Structure 1
């Protein structure tokens, strides 16, 4: 793993997990942060802010055609292929409709959900797919104006959706409730065996 200059290290705790360590490992602390800081973990059940684990990967390229729904098709692909550390590497294409959740929420206020019913170019689709997934999308309209947010569903392909999915082979993705955010968040664990 490349070394970073001390000025490049952010203030949050970084945990490095060595290959072969079990799930109960606390990893190796890589910051000068004190144990009682707001971002440090006080219990073994809390989610670590940063986990860095190198992993080889396998890639899958798929194309969806007109009328296919992107989100449910991707989730089915992940399930059918037993992918447990899958993510979207890239996606280009277009949609005719979809539902997204905007980024205006916190643990005490719900997000606004909007339904889109016009043709959009997919500018970006990113996120994890395993254990329920977490996808974000950016779309541009006929004038090039963009809208984006969390994918709720209903992303119906207009002409095509060309998607590359990555699957990491040394880790597993899980989602776990994080009391700090009020949401289920990604937990990356080493693959056993």
Structure 2
């Protein structure tokens, strides 16, 4: 990973083998920020797991095991109540037949490169807290 910062904007490049969620969470700890809007992400990934939450608050997952284009990525980063960084990301992937696959991103490993933009929210206080009877971890503002 390499990154550069301009004020509250961070632009970073992830390299082959890096997992996107883990890399963003490590960056939050390295730089020392608690909240960010992840405004864009593009690149090529593999082992990309995405899905959706049904009406009963249960996630359903699909995985593209081979390479796919990361066409869009957006979301946010906040801290859990215990202080751990937590990323909530949605993505659109395109397989090699140019078929789009989109939804909540559970995991994706960089295959060639991923480039991301984050806007740090330096004055925001946001916390991720589990919802009762749900797999969702809700965003709360203080």
TM-score (norm 2): 0.80
1:103 is aligned to 52
Structure 2 contact 48–109 (Cα < 8 Å) conserved: yes
User: Are 1:76 and 2:30 an aligned pair?
Assistant: no
Which residue does 1:146 correspond to in 2? 100
1:186 aligns with 139
More strand by share: 2
For residue 82 of structure 1, report the CA deviation from its aligned partner: 1.9
RMSD (Å), alpha carbons: 2.2
**Shift, 1:173, TM fit:** 1.6
Please show how residues 1-193 of structure 1 align to structure 2 within 5 Å.
58-100=8-50, 102-106=51-55, 108=56, 110-131=58-79, 132-153=86-107, 155-178=108-131, 183-189=136-142
Moved over 4 A (4+): none
Question: Does the C-alpha gap of structure 1 residues 175 and 159 become closer, same or farther in structure 2, counting only changes over 3 Å?
Answer: same
The structure with higher relative contact order (CA 8 Å, sep 6+) is 2
Q: Over alpha carbons, which structure has the higher Rg?
A: 1
Q: Deviations over 1:134-160 (max 9, x none)?
A: 11111011122111121222x111211
Structure 2: 5+ residue stretches without partners: 1-6, 80-85
Question: What is the TM-score of this pair, normalised by structure 1?
Answer: 0.60
- List alignment gaps of at least 5 residues for structure 1: 1-56
Shift of residue 87, structure 1, vs aligned partner = 2.2
Residues 57-116 of structure 1: per-residue CA shift (max 9 Å, x gap): 70111101122211111111112222111121111101122222x22412x352211222
